[in-house]
Amino acid sequence: MFTPAKPPLTGETLDSLSARLAAHGEPVFRAKQILDWLYKKRVRSWDEMSNLSKPLRAWLAETFELMPASLVLNRQSQDVTDKLLLELGDRSLIETVIIRAPQDGVGVDHSRKTICISTQVGCAMGCVFCASGLDGLKRHLSAGEIVAQLLQVCYREDAHTPRVRAELASFDNLVVMGMGEPLHNYDNLIAALTILNADWGLGFGARRITLSTSGLVPQIRRLAEEPLGFRLAISLHGATDEVRERIMPVNKRWPLAELIPAARDFAAKHGRMLSLEFILIEEVNDTLDQAARLAAIARDLHAHVNLIPYNTVTGLDWKRPSLNRQERFAAVLEQQRVSFTLRREKGHEIDAACGQLRLRTERERAVPVAGDAAVPPL
């Protein structure tokens, strides 16, 4: 586990910061002032917090890291995707993506923005098609590191467009679909989303937050009980155990017979539509038989299906099916009157697929990052 010399301010809640300040002999209202500087005014240094005394600013600087992630690369694609490569305190790299179009829509509408964040460095799940999991899991992100990604997005946006509102309201959606399996880092994720959601934080509505999971059944059940009602997307990628198991090792632990009831219960609890993600990989899961079985699952769960043509990963042999095959697959869903979207992929040319930019940069740098012995078992 990476333990930073100082905890990040972005990992503090109003309550935890108030307690720290009280213990230091400061009035509790200072906590709100400090978090206003961080999330509403979005200053980048302690010295800009001008309504705090100099000694208090000095104490804060000694006690907390203001920003635990720094921007090392900002790659803008020709179309609509903007990718931020961020470096953490231990030199680990993570990716945060801004997508300037509807996630699942047709056509380009630049007024809609979605942010995609990472939750781990690497991933333990080992899906055979995915760049994020190729080198395994390095470590979980802390809550503060997860929140910091959103602040970096704000800094970037503030620099480009005049700020209309202090909150992240100009973003339509937040998707937890970057590097890592969010539900494997459950506590830090929920802590971070709580900070993002709070009115003293970034004020981002829970209903505009979608978590994507490869299918950790106990955590899906636990998530259903959370007070904040997040949306859920399940990465299915196979409509039978046989196909799913071939590409997603997690299916051996939690096969469809356990995953589907958990998904059904989640949807019933929240009264909201689930999404099923289905990457189309040639000759693996793009057959008409898979399409028919996927249609049956989607109808049973009243779920929306996102068909995502596979994004090739350097070093892996999996292929994207031809347009013809993609459409043939989609036609089966249409015939079965399943709500679905065939995603026109965004940002291919900047390695927007899960984890690729980071993997390439990390391998070029060849920085060994210590493995994390403290990661709990799945």
Q: What's the min distance (Å) between Cβ of 18 and ligand SAH?
A: 34
User: Which residue of 86, 121, 130, 313 would you call a contact of ligand SF4, by CB under 6 A?
Assistant: 130
Q: Please, what is the Cα angle at 267 between 265 and 273, to 5 degrees?
A: 160
Tell me how many degrees the CA angle 111-117-118 measures, rounded to the nearest 5: 165
Options 123, 130, 154, 354, the catalytic residue: 354
Residues 2, 186, 310, 340: which binds ligand SAH (CB under 6 A)?
A: 310
**354 part of the active site:** yes
Distance CA 214, CA 191 (A): 20
Amino acid making up residue 23: A
**Which residue type sits at 95?**
E
Asked if 133 touches ligand SF4 (CB under 6 A), the answer is yes
CA-to-CA distance for 101 and 173, rounded, in angstroms? 11
Task: Give the whole-angstrom CA distance, residue 177 versus residue 277.
Answer: 11
Say if CB 304 and CB 340 are below 8 A apart. yes
Task: Decide: is 212 part of the binding site for ligand SAH (CB under 6 A).
Answer: yes
- Listed in sequence order, the DSSP H helices in 161-255 are 186-197, 217-223, 241-247, 250-253
Per CB under 6 A, 177 contacts ligand SAH: yes
Residues 184 and 192: their CA atoms lie apart, in Å, by: 14
Residue 285 interacts with ligand SAH (CB under 6 A)? no
Residue 377 DSSP symbol: P
Among 77, 188, 214, 311, binds ligand SF4 (CB under 6 A): 214
**Residues near ligand SF4 (CB under 6 A), total:** 11
Nearer to ligand SF4, 176 or 224 (CB): 176
Contact region with ligand SAH (CB under 6 A), list: 46-54, 80-88, 160-168, 308-316: 308-316
Cite the DSSP H helix spans in the chain. 14-23, 29-35, 54-63, 143-160, 186-197, 217-223, 241-247, 250-253, 256-270, 288-301, 323-335, 356-365
Residue from 66, 308, 354, 357 binding ligand SF4 (CB under 6 A): 354
Q: Is 182 among the residues that bind ligand SF4 (CB under 6 A)? A: no
Shorter beta-carbon distance to ligand SAH: residue 197 or 311: 311
Asked if residue 365 lies in contact with residue 324, where contact means CB atoms within 8 angstroms, the answer is no
**Shortest Cβ 123–ligand SF4 spacing (Å):** 3
Q: Is 340 in the site for ligand SAH (CB under 6 A)?
A: no
Cβ closest to ligand SF4, residue 202 vs residue 354: 354
Contact between 155 and 192 under an 8 Å Cβ cutoff? The reply is no
Give whichever of 59 and 340 is closer to ligand SAH, judged by the CB atom: 340
Q: Which does 133 bind (CB under 5 to 8 A by kind): ligand SAH, ligand SF4, none?
A: ligand SF4
Please tell me whether residue 351 binds ligand SAH under the rule CB under 6 A: no
Quickly tell me which residue has 């039978």 as its tokens: 240
Least distance to ligand SF4, CB of residue 137, Å: 9
Q: How far is CA 318 from CA 24, 118, 128, 132, in A?
A: 57, 23, 9, 15
Rg, Å, the chain Cα set: 21
Which one of 65, 104, 157, 181 is in contact with ligand SF4 (CB under 6 A)?
Answer: 181
Instruction: Give the C-alpha separation, 378 to 373, whole Å.
Output: 13
Rounded to a whole number of angstroms, the minimum distance from the CB of residue 281 to ligand SAH is 8
Residue from 21, 98, 117, 130 in contact with ligand SAH (CB under 6 A): 130
Q: Least CB distance from residue 165 to ligand SAH, whole Å?
A: 29
| Pair type for strands 137-140 and 120-122 | antiparallel
Catalytic residue, chosen from 12, 26, 65, 95, is 95
Shortest Cβ 134–ligand SF4 spacing (Å): 8
Binding partner of residue 93 among ligand SF4, ligand SAH, none, CB cut-off 5 to 8 Å per kind: none
What residues are labeled active site? 95, 354
Site residues for ligand SAH per CB under 6 A: 129-130, 177, 181, 212-214, 235, 277, 279, 308, 310-311, 313, 353-354
Site residues for ligand SF4 per CB under 6 A: 123, 125, 127, 130, 132-133, 180-181, 214, 235, 354
